[in-house]
Structure 1
Amino acid sequence: MSEFTPEQADTLIGTAEQMIQIWSRLSPEKQSALLSRFGTRENALAALVTTRLLSPANN
């Protein structure tokens, strides 16, 4: 397993913090839909983080 560079770690942590903030602002219906699709809040947040990291705006 490779370690993250400090820059990668900062990006990951910052993105995760943003996703947690976004999660808290989602409607209960949207949270429920994400939980239904991904099974757990952790999986749903991981999907949000992955989507955020892979979006063209971040490349």
Structure 2
Amino acid sequence: MTDTLPDSPDAAVLDAALQMVDVWNRLSAEKQALLLKRFGTQENALAALVTTKMLAPSKH
């Protein structure tokens, strides 16, 4: 993961999405199942993770 700011809002969203796909792939089956139960689909769960990542305060 990079500490530099993306050049555009689109790049920021894409970067966050790629990071959250990586996070999703590292989650246990149980945690994935909980997210799927809460959000209905993997796409919705990933969208929630991306939104959380985008709205989280920076750790600079």
TM-score by length of 2: 0.83
Q: Deviation per CA, 1:1-48: give whole Å up to 9, x if none.
A: xxxxx6001000000000000000000000000000000000000000
In structure 1, distance between residues paired with 2:16 and 2:31: 20
Greater per-residue helix proportion: 1
Q: How many residue pairs align between the two structures?
A: 53
Equivalences for residues 1-59 of structure 1 within 5 A: 7-57=8-58
Q: Which runs of 4+ in 1 moved over 3 A?
A: none
Q: CA RMSD in A?
A: 1.2
Q: Percent identity?
A: 53
Gaps of 5+ in 1: 1-5
